[in-house]
């Protein structure tokens, strides 16, 4: 299927006390927004499972785990939910301008990322209340 807009993979929310805010983290994101430990942990798990991660970067919504920049920008959003021990993640496939104009296909790497997240989340230490919203890639609503 050819798409012309950013695609968002299934969002997962879960509870765990394993991840905590990092000192001064809010200075890199927004007040009350955390996720550095989650992003670093997910990055490590993806690398262990053969999916090389390029970097982890701060964003206003939390943290982005950059998986690849080509042929599409592929990343995972990581953040807390309302200053609690609830966390959220979702993969994003973001095309470049030319791809938005002419369309793009999801890469096998994007599908592998979605599958890996589904395998990795249950292994988070102390995880509970795992809830997936959707199972497929959908048009990003942001």
Supply the pLDDT for residue 73.
84
Check residue 51 and give its pLDDT. Answer: 93
* One pLDDT digit (tens) per residue for the chain, 142 residues: 454 567 778 899 999 999 998 888 888 988 888 999 999 999 999 999 999 999 999 999 999 999 988 877 899 999 999 777 899 999 988 776 665 566 666 667 788 898 999 999 999 999 999 999 976 766 554 4
CATH of the domain at 18: 3.30.310
Among 15, 69, 54, 60, smallest CA distance to 38 is for 15
Residue 113 neighbours by CB distance under 10 Å: 24
Question: What does the alpha-carbon distance between residue 10 and residue 111 come to, in Å, rounded to a whole number?
Answer: 11
Domain membership of residue 98 (yes or no) is: yes
What the block records as the tokens of 95 is 């095309």
Secondary structure in 3-state letters for 56-68 = EEEECCEEEEEEE
Quickly count: other Cβ atoms within 10 Å of residue 35's Cβ: 28
Rg (CA), the chain: 15
In a domain, 44, yes or no: yes
Other beta carbons within 10 angstroms of residue 71's beta carbon come to 14
What is the predicted pLDDT for the residue at 141? Answer: 45
Give the chain's domain count: 1
Structure token pair of residue 47: 């690398």
At 79 the pLDDT is 94
Which residues constitute the domain of residue 98? 7-139
Whether 2 is in a domain gets the answer: no
């Amino acid at each position: 299927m050819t798409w012309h807009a950013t695609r968002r993979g299934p969002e997962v929310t879960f509870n765990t006390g394993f991840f905590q805010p990092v000192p001064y983290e809010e200075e890199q994101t927004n007040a009350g927004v955390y996720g550095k430990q989650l992003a670093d942990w997910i990055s490590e798990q993806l690398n262990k499972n053969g999916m090389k991660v390029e970097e982890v970067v701060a964003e206003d919504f939390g943290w982005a785990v950059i998986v690849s920049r080509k042929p599409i920008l592929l990343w995972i959003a990581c953040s807390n939910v309302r200053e609690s021990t609830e966390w959220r993640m979702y993969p994003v496939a973001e095309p470049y301008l030319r791809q938005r104009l002419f369309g793009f296909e999801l890469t096998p790497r994007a599908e592998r990322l979605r599958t890996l997240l589904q395998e990795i989340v249950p292994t988070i230490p102390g995880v509970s209340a795992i809830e997936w919203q959707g199972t497929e890639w959908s048009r990003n609503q942001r």
